[in-house]
Amino acid sequence: MSHSSMRNNRRIFRKCKRRKQNRERRAPRLNCGGAVFNASNIHYEIGEKVQAVNCGGIGAIHQMVGKVGLADDIDEALHLLKIHMPYHESDHVLNIAYNVLAGGMRLEDMELRRNDEAYLSALDDERTPDPTTAGDFTRRFSVSDIETLMDAINTTRQRVWQRCSGDLINEAFIDVDGTIAGTLGRCKHGMDISYKGIWGYHPLIVSLANTKEILFMENRPGNVASHQGAAKWIDKAIVLVTGRIAMVRTKSASAM
């Protein structure tokens, strides 16, 4: 930012501060004779050339997905659809992920996204799957399909690690823990009451503590012990990060 721009910004901030102080001086006092909130001088206009979206970074996220090849890895590994009219497996997976990034909490919130012109323009897309189509896609998953999806994501992750400098991870710390995830519904498959009295799930999360990346996750009923089923995922996480550590040590040795 140039010095002239900084001076102009400071001038604008000072004017805003003065207007705020003037408002406080004119503020009505005790027994002012009417409601304080009036809003009688508000006019709304719609700009034809201006579009706004509450998740402006979604376009940058999608560009990153394309650059690292995540969508291609998902489509290559995951096969749940017999035909693609027009959506591929990666479209459905990314649609669910982007819905969360945009502030959605349920599949129904996708309806807001697919009717938002600015959101569609950010993704350079004509349409996105509606909640019903997304729900049908999620019901196609088996346990093995979920593991396949995680492996596909980790394939992309390893490629990203290879592009990073050798100093990123010299020693990996794998964090394994369960977390209580309460839900609002009472008719969802696999739910139970945790030891804290919370009705919901108790997912197991295996992450790389160095970078806070979630490597694997398994959803479990709310009443299971934290360590249940952890051994399998610890072994897979060790295999996943061992290649990265070996690569770092090889680069370090060749640099000496």
Residues 117-161: tens digit of each pLDDT: 889 988 888 889 999 999 999 999 999 999 999 999 999 999 998
Same domain, 134 and 169: no
CA 23 to chain centre: 41
C-alpha span between 34 and 102 (Å, rounded) = 41
* pLDDT in the model for residue 71: 95
Same domain, 185 and 231: yes
**Domain assignment of residue 68, yes or no:** yes
Total domains in the chain come to 2
C-alpha span between 169 and 215 (Å, rounded) = 15
**Domain assignment of residue 9, yes or no:** no
27: confidence class by pLDDT, cuts 50, 70, 90: low
C-alpha span between 125 and 95 (Å, rounded) = 11
Contacts for 218 with CB less than 8 Å, ≥ 6 apart: 203, 204, 229, 233
Same domain, 120 and 173: no
Q: What range does the domain containing 87 cover?
A: 58-138
C-alpha span between 93 and 75 (Å, rounded) = 10
Q: What is the side-by-side order of every strand in the sheet holding 181-182?
A: 181-182, 199-201, 192-193
74, 93 contact by CB (below 8 A): yes
**Domain assignment of residue 251, yes or no:** yes
Q: What is the token pair recorded at 111?
A: 């309806």
Model confidence over 64-77: pLDDT tens digits?
A: 999 999 999 999 99
The full DSSP string for 102-157 is TT--SGGGHHHHHT-HHHHHHTT-S----HHHHHHHHTT--HHHHHHHHHHHHHHH
Same domain, 192 and 131: no
Same domain, 178 and 248: yes
Q: Which of 56, 124, 53 is nearest to 91 (CA)?
A: 124
Give mean pLDDT, residues 42-60: 81
Same domain, 66 and 131: yes
Q: Could you identify the residue written with the tokens 């040590």?
A: 249
* pLDDT in the model for residue 255: 39
Same domain, 107 and 176: no
101-105, 185-189, 233-237: segment of lowest average pLDDT? 185-189
* pLDDT in the model for residue 145: 96
**Domain assignment of residue 174, yes or no:** yes
**Domain assignment of residue 235, yes or no:** yes
Q: How far is CA 190 from CA 134, 157, 183, 224, 227, in A?
A: 21, 30, 12, 11, 17
Same domain, 201 and 250: yes
**Domain assignment of residue 45, yes or no:** no
Same domain, 119 and 202: no
Same domain, 122 and 73: yes
Give mean pLDDT, residues 176-181: 89
33: confidence class by pLDDT, cuts 50, 70, 90: low
Q: What angle do CA 107, 151, 142 make, to 5 degrees?
A: 55
> What residue type is assigned to position 112 of the chain?
L
Give mean pLDDT, residues 92-96: 96
Domain stops at, among 138, 173, 193 = 138
C-alpha span between 141 and 52 (Å, rounded) = 35
**Domain assignment of residue 76, yes or no:** yes
**Domain assignment of residue 226, yes or no:** yes
pTM over 0.85: no
Give mean pLDDT, residues 249-253: 41
Same domain, 114 and 177: no
